Amino acid sequence: MKDNYQIILRPHITEKSTLLRENNKYSFVVSRDANKMDIRRAAEELFDIKGSIIDVHTMRVQGKVKGRMNRYQRGRRPHWKKAIITVVEGTRIPVFESI
């Protein structure tokens, strides 16, 4: 079993994720091999919100193709996985409170 810090890697802060916080949804970058139950357990233990998580949505995000326009210098950013955690009304995750 992985450590909680190996499952939830960092918060994913974008304009869209900031708007989702108004609906009690928080976005995180998670390990690519983590499943929904691992993410739920890690979030409950890390942020001390036992029983406050309603739902966990996950999605795999493809890395962008980067590089010059010629065909010889092409690269790709790594693929990653995102989780959106929905919590009960009034529950706050302290990582996002200072943002």
Decide: 39 and 26 in contact? Cβ < 8 Å.
Answer: no
pLDDT at 98: 64
Segments making up each domain of the chain, as ranges: 4-67+74-89
What are 29's two structure tokens?
A: 């970058």
Q: Architecture of domain 4-67+74-89 in CATH?
A: 2-Layer Sandwich (3.30)
Mean pLDDT (whole number) for 30-51: 94
Closest CA to 8 of 49, 60, 46, 64: 46
Looking at the predicted structure, is the pLDDT value of residue 7 above 90?
yes
- Judged by DSSP in three states, 18 sits in helix
Decide: 59 and 39 in contact? Cβ < 8 Å.
Answer: no
C-alpha atoms less than 13 angstroms from C-alpha of 91 in its C-beta half-sphere: 19
pLDDT tens readout for residues 21-32: 999 999 999 999
Mean pLDDT (whole number) for 33-59: 94
pLDDT tens readout for residues 76-99: 899 999 999 999 998 888 877 666
